[in-house]
Amino acid sequence: MTEQLERRADTTRLQILRAASHQFARKSYSSVSLDDILADAEVTKGAMYFHFRSKYALASAIIEYRAAVARASVDQLLAQKLSGLETMIDISYLVAIEDIGDETARAGLNLLESIGRTDGLQATVLGPWVTAFAAIAGKAVKDGDIISDRDPQGIARLLVSMYLGLRQTSNLAEPERFLRDLENMWALVLPGFVKPDRIDYLNQFITRRTAVALKKATPL
């Protein structure tokens, strides 16, 4: 009985998170109202306040939820056992495809930019990203793709910054343009840390991944 109740509470919580993602993916934090979310989620105000005490609590929950989902997809990619650098490229395309077409993914990063700045949320979420990427970059050094005196931590920070910056300067609503911009950025940064004789292959790898992503990405 309690198990059933818990499951129902879980379903309601997810329903609210989804409805809120729908809003936060399309509008800025300040212009989303709890009433819009309530109407979308088709739950009572009571149910909503049982799960989230404020708009802020709801927004941080989306960020956390999204971070957990992203971690799981990255683990899946790591289980593919590709080379370190190929894995890093794959992760960036995976994140881009979801950012383009998945409401929770889009809302999660939007909110990380807006409310994440103030209370250390960005550091809590992006810190582990950089650490995880640095570990994969370390593997790419061992694979012989990255020049051995380059600092994996610095490369990881550069790549995370590159993606977050691209969200600002390109346009997620135009998948073709966004993915081409991503492709160009990769081509531009590779010579900074990749061994010259590996660049041709990796550029081809990136072009091929762009082609796959163009087929898969559907805008919100």
Partner 1 sequence: MVRQARSEATRRRIITSAVELFNEIGYPAAGLGDIIERAEMTKGALYYHFDSKESLATAIIEEGSAHLVEAFRSITASSAPALEGIIHGVFVVADLLSTDQIARSATQLLRAFGEFNDAAARTYGGWVAEMTERTRQAIDEGDLRGDLDPQAVGETIVGSMLGAELLANATSAGADTMSRITRTWKVLLPALVSSESLSYFDEFLARESMRHSPAPQAE
Chain residues binding partner 1 by CB under 8 A are 77, 79-83, 90, 93-94, 97, 142-144, 148, 200-201, 204, 208, 212-213, 216
Tokens of 21: 């993602």
Nearer to partner 1, 49 or 201 (CB): 201
CB of 183 to partner 1, least distance (A): 15
Nearer to partner 1, 91 or 132 (CB): 91
CB of 118 to partner 1, least distance (A): 36
CB of 151 to partner 1, least distance (A): 16
CB of 180 to partner 1, least distance (A): 18
- Contact (Cβ atoms closer than 8 angstroms) between residue 58 and residue 20: yes
Neighbours of 26 (CB within 10 A): 15
What distance in Å separates the CA atoms of residue 39 and residue 100, rounded to the nearest whole number?
25
- Contact (Cβ atoms closer than 8 angstroms) between residue 35 and residue 116: no
Contacts of 115 (CB under 8 A, 6+ apart): 29, 56, 59, 60, 63, 121
Nearer to partner 1, 33 or 204 (CB): 204
CB of 95 to partner 1, least distance (A): 13
Nearer to partner 1, 46 or 81 (CB): 81
How many C-alpha atoms does 107 have within 13 Å on its Cβ side? Answer: 25
Nearer to partner 1, 77 or 126 (CB): 77
- Nearest partner of 111 among 74, 64, 173, judged by Cα: 64
What distance in Å separates the CA atoms of residue 169 and residue 197, rounded to the nearest whole number?
31
